[in-house]
């Protein structure tokens, strides 16, 4: 017996041990056990290289799937209020809608028939930079749930969601199963980000998978093409975002509750930048709060450099540049503090 065959047999035994210790559905355990038997037969016959690679990768993914593991919700309405106030300025109607959402989750969790309850799927619709994605992260923090973000921008194929058959050598699960494997629980918040931006030529196929994901009658047995076994996603909370709803199929919209994200006024953008954005950017750059000051007279210009802007992305990019330049000046010249004024603003801010 060659040394290579001995090594393979040991690795196969390791796979068998992992399967024996894992929490798996009975049918899936039988399925992978048959794969192991076929693999052992291939090793004995000497035709094992490619088959071993395929089977071992497949079993590794199967063992990563959180078939039953769930996180425990923190359904505390006061904590939820606190989290949203800490991360979001204004937007009272949107916050109220999320507080109502958490209240319903809490009441349903106290009832006996929890298995019959399916959380509504909220769709946040608004222009770029209005806080759609950050609201999803805040909800995850408030509930104590993991978050899986699946970006749809430029998604070229439904295979990116549902995976590809393991008959192909380089096949992998789709983004949904990969996501729950990454966070290790089957009940995360799954953020379907910018569902209106998938590639036009494959949009209908992608919308078909979305219907399956969002439909309570179907998502308890979501079948990824690679795993090829039903995965229960009914305990996950789905959230979706979109810039507009023109490119979203009617069948998908029928399964969503729309929340319109309001645009920010200039004054709101300035407050958000001063209270949230700039302190976070300075912290990330290693700057103390007293090491960078910006004159009050400059904020209006930064909030509206090119005319009206509904979100804060442009302002955020401007502040990123200011912080980087300030950090460089402090390091190179040894200044204890940088103050951005009308006189020196051309050094720090883009000139349009």
Residue 171: which of 162, 181, 180, 179 has the closest Cα? 162
176 and 224 Cβ atoms separated by less than 8 Å: yes
Confidence of residue 49 (pLDDT cuts 50, 70, 90): low
310 and 127 Cβ atoms separated by less than 8 Å: yes
Q: What is the pLDDT of residue 162?
A: 95
Percent of the residues in the chain that have a pLDDT greater than 70, as a whole number: 94
Q: What is the pLDDT of residue 307?
A: 59
Least confident window among 6-20, 45-59, 201-215? 45-59
Q: What is the pLDDT of residue 352?
A: 57
Which CATH superfamily includes the segment(s) 77-260? P-loop containing nucleotide triphosphate hydrolases (3.40.50.300)
Overall average pLDDT of the 316-322 stretch: 94
323 and 277 Cβ atoms separated by less than 8 Å: no
Q: Is the pLDDT of residue 220 over 80?
A: yes
Q: Model confidence over 135-167: pLDDT tens digits? A: 999 999 999 999 999 999 989 999 999 999 998
Confidence of residue 5 (pLDDT cuts 50, 70, 90): confident
Residues sharing a CB contact under 8 Å with residue 156, sequence separation 6 or more, in sequence order:
198, 199, 202
Output the six-digit token pair for 209.
């998978």
- Residues 86, 87, 93, 99, CA torsion sign: negative
Confidence of residue 311 (pLDDT cuts 50, 70, 90): confident
Average pLDDT, the chain: 90
Q: Is the pLDDT of residue 117 over 80?
A: no
The structural domains of the chain, with segments of one domain joined by +, span 3-64, 77-260, 266-348
Confidence of residue 308 (pLDDT cuts 50, 70, 90): low
Q: Is the pLDDT of residue 110 over 70?
A: yes
Residues sharing a CB contact under 8 Å with residue 144, sequence separation 6 or more, in sequence order:
71, 72, 73, 74
Confidence of residue 299 (pLDDT cuts 50, 70, 90): very high
Pick the CATH number of 266-348 from 3.10.620.30, 1.10.3720.10, 1.10.8.60, 3.40.50.1100: 1.10.8.60
């Amino acid at each position: 017996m060659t040394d290579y065959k001995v090594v393979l047999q040991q690795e196969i035994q390791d796979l068998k041990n992992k399967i024996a210790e894992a929490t798996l559905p009975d049918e899936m355990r039988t399925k992978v056990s048959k794969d192991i038997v076929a693999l052992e037969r291939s090793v004995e016959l000497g035709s094992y290289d490619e088959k071993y690679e395929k089977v071992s990768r497949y079993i590794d993914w199967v063992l990563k799937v959180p078939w039953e593991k769930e996180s425990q919700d923190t359904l505390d309405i006061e904590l939820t209020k606190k989290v949203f106030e800490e991360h979001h300025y204004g937007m009272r109607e949107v916050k109220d809608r999320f507080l109502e959402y958490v209240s319903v989750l809490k009441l349903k969790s106290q009832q006996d028939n929890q298995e019959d309850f399916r959380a509504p799927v909220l769709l946040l619709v608004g222009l770029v930079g209005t806080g759609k994605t950050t609201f999803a992260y805040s909800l995850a923090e408030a509930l104590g749930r993991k978050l899986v973000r699946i970006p749809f921008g430029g998604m070229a194929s439904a295979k990116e969601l549902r995976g590809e058959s393991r008959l192909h050598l380089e096949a992998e699960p789709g983004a949904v199963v990969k996501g729950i494997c990454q966070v290790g629980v089957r009940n995360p918040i799954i953020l379907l980000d910018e569902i209106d931006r998938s590639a036009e030529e494959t949009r209908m196929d992608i919308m078909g998978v979305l219907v399956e994901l969002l439909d309570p009658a179907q998502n308890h047995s979501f079948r990824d093409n690679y795993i090829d076994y039903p995965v229960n996603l009914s305990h996950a909370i789905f959230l979706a975002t979109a810039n507009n709803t023109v490119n979203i199929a009617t069948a998908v919209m029928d399964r969503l509750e729309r929340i319109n994200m309001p645009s920010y006024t200039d004054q709101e953008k300035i407050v958000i930048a001063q209270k949230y954005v700039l302190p976070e950017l300075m912290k990330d750059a290693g700057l103390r709060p007293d090491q960078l000051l910006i004159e009050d007279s400059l904020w209006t210009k930064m909030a509206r450099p090119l005319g009206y802007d509904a979100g804060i992305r442009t302002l955020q990019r401007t502040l990123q540049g200011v912080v980087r330049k300030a950090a460089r000046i402090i390091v190179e010249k040894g200044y204890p503090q940088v103050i951005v004024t009308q006189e020196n603003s051309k050094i720090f801010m883009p000139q349009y």
